[in-house]
Amino acid sequence: MGITLAGGLTRRATALDRSGYLLYDSDCGICLALAGFLAKRVTTRPLGLLALTEAGTVPRVGRLVEGRPLTTTIHFVRADDTILTGARAVLAAGRLVPRWRFLAIALDHRVGHAVLEPLYRQVATHRRRIGRLLGLPVECPLPPRKGETL
């Protein structure tokens, strides 16, 4: 299937590359739990997991997020250099998880964002308290990635 551009040029339509890097706070139990969940289910190819302190280790990501208030919300840097934050970042990462992607796709639209963003903000505001109530560790190493060996 192709798209015909002005001048008779034909360009082949390609699917949007949804791969990227999820930047998380390594001092937050909920963030660590999410990163651990993703590490067990998604290979490193479509999803890179970076603690906020490691954002500079990937030059492209470091350049894109430089000067942003990273500690206030979770960030997802897509392959096309789009930066998503908050609930949209969680949905972008969720789209890469087998069996969970269908739920993320169903919620990844304007109405879903309007419903999920206030919920995300409440969790983010009280994340340390919620983490303690759930007994989540403040710091722990991530498990090996799917497809990785030690």
The pLDDT value recorded for residue 2 is: 47
Provide block-wise average pLDDT over 10 residues at a time, the chain (150 residues). Answer: 49 66 88 88 86 90 90 90 93 91 93 95 87 75 55
In a domain, 52, yes or no: yes
The pLDDT value recorded for residue 125 is: 86
Say what the pTM is: 0.78
In a domain, 9, yes or no: no
Tally the domains of the chain. 1
In a domain, 5, yes or no: no
In a domain, 23, yes or no: yes
The pLDDT value recorded for residue 99 is: 87
Distance (Å) of CA 106 to CA 15, 27, 52, 92, 99: 18, 30, 29, 12, 12
Tokens representing residue 45 in the block: 């190819």
The pLDDT value recorded for residue 4 is: 46
The pLDDT value recorded for residue 30 is: 86
Range of the domain at 86: 16-133
In a domain, 147, yes or no: no
In a domain, 41, yes or no: yes
Contacts of 67 (CB under 8 A, 6+ apart): none
